[in-house]
Amino acid sequence: MDLKVICALSIILVVALSTLADGKTPPTRCQCKLAPRERRNCGYPGISAVDCRKAGCCFNASVPGVPWCFAPKPKRVRKVCPNDSYARINCGFPGITAKDCERKGCCFRPHPAGVPWCFYHRVVEE
């Protein structure tokens, strides 16, 4: 291929990827369950439902006088120690004590052999 063609394709690819990165994940139904008085505006006057959701916001036009495009509730997350011993990501060093591991904010389970005993939590959505 000609160098000019490769450069042009590269620019098109970068522009396409940057526009994909701008879109946010749509909120869950649970995140959009807000009392109308609790809604914080997330759009502009006349925004469509599609554009609102593309921006990662909730849309509900059923209540007049309040924002129809509004910010979702934040996702609820919690830390858990993974049950699968092979999903553990090492947080310590060989011979670390349970106390030292937990001081680092990590999980400690001294079994089975061959996997980290001191390992990071996983974050899960509720």
CATH number of 77-125: 4.10.110.10
Q: Report d(CA 5, CA 70) in Å as an integer.
A: 43
Q: Categorize the per-residue pLDDT at 36 as very low, low, confident or very high, splitting at 50, 70 and 90.
A: very high
Report the percent of the chain where pLDDT is more than 70.
80
Best CATH choice for the domain 24-74 from the list 3.30.70.1150, 3.90.550.10, 3.40.309.10, 4.10.110.10: 4.10.110.10
Is a pLDDT exceeding 60 seen at residue 17? no
57 CB-contact burial (10 Å; exposed 0-12 / middle 13-18 / buried 19+): buried
Average pLDDT over residues 64-71: 94
